[in-house]
Amino acid sequence: MKCSFFYFCLFNLLEFHAMQEIGSNHAQSLGFSTDGFATTPTMRKMHLIWVTARMHIEIYKYPAWSDVVEIETWCQSEGRIGTRRDWILKDATTGELIGRATGFIPKANLMWNGCSKWVMMNQDTRRLQKVSDDVREEHLIFCPREPRLAFPEKNNKSLKKIIKLEDPAQYSRLGLTPRRADLDMNHHVNYVTYIGWVLESMPQEIIDTHELQSITLDYRRECLQDDVVDSLTSPEPIDGTGTVSEHNGTAREDADCPQFLHLLRVSCDGQEINRGRTEWRKKPAR
């Protein structure tokens, strides 16, 4: 499915919301449910919904005011372990690639290996379930016959494991609470909201001078309307050594591209909601 829209806001969360909306519109156009869950007949019969397990997004260029962006998305089979969804973002006028994202729906025991992922959850028990053959077959008829990946490169960044950010974090924003607009149809916090919460604890000097280049998020537990959330951020350690440079970010030859680790947790008991990793680049000269 392809869709074009006028980019009327420079805040990058709009791009993520557009990807989510187009994915939902694609599912609806294929005849899946219109309740916001994109569920198949078998899923509705078994009280199953999709939940996000991992999201990886790379942004190569931010559109300017009034630019028209084309977003293409598709779903496909991922062997015997489930299905996946990918996105490609292009400048509609020039055809220039400006962003990519990827996601797939794996078995529960593969939840934290590899690309951006989704899993099925039972609405009644709140437990994760494997993608059944019946559900997979309902998707297969709409999938490309030949595999097509938004990130076909071997060892691409979407495959990188995110280590847990340990206390004490260098930066924090405490006491975040969901708004009604942050909730999906199942009264969970929408996965795009987590991106905004991650950015809340970024150091202001990076926000002022850099722009987000890539983000990877692992979703560990559901977040509900009454939860209070803490956002923690620290520079990423160098190759797992636990040390960082004096610059606000991981020590690299290119100090203009800092990297950070992130953790969202429940304020009252410290339960891990989400862990993330971001890369940043210097803002282009205006």
Examine the residue annotation and report whether 257 is marked as an active-site residue of this protein.
Answer: no
Highest mean pLDDT out of 90-104, 183-197, 217-231: 217-231
Q: What is the pTM of this model?
A: 0.76
What is the rounded CA–CA span in Å between residue 82 and residue 104? 7
What is the rounded CA–CA span in Å between residue 8 and residue 14? 9
Is 60 exceeded by the pLDDT of residue 241? no
Lowest mean pLDDT among 30-39, 120-129, 233-242, 263-272: 30-39
Catalytic one among 26, 188, 210, 262?
188
What is the rounded CA–CA span in Å between residue 37 and residue 44? 10
What is the rounded CA–CA span in Å between residue 21 and residue 192? 11
Maximum Cα–Cα distance across the chain? 55
Catalytic one among 139, 223, 262, 274?
223
What is the rounded CA–CA span in Å between residue 244 and residue 234? 9
Residue of 55, 15, 18, 51 whose CA lies nearest to 275:
55
N-to-C CA span, the chain: 34
The single-letter code of the amino acid at 251 is A
Catalytic one among 17, 156, 186, 257?
186
Q: What is the pLDDT of residue 48?
A: 77
What is the rounded CA–CA span in Å between residue 137 and residue 145? 13
Q: What is the pLDDT of residues 36-67, one digit of tens each?
A: 566 778 877 887 776 667 888 899 998 888 88
- For each of the domains in the chain, give its residue range(s) and CATH number, in order of start: 3-159 (3.10.129.10), 171-237+256-282 (3.10.129.10)
Examine the residue annotation and report whether 190 is marked as an active-site residue of this protein.
Answer: no
State the chain's mean pLDDT as an integer: 76
pLDDT > 70 in the chain, percent = 68
Q: What is the pLDDT of residues 107-163, one digit of tens each?
A: 333 333 334 455 677 777 777 777 777 877 776 666 666 777 778 888 788 778 899
Examine the residue annotation and report whether 186 is marked as an active-site residue of this protein.
Answer: yes
Q: What is the pLDDT of residues 19-29, one digit of tens each?
A: 555 555 655 66
Q: Are 277 and 215 in contact (CB under 8 A)?
A: yes
Is 80 exceeded by the pLDDT of residue 189? yes
Highest mean pLDDT out of 32-46, 68-82, 270-284: 270-284
Burial class (CB within 10 angstroms; exposed 0-12, middle 13-18, buried 19+) of 116: buried
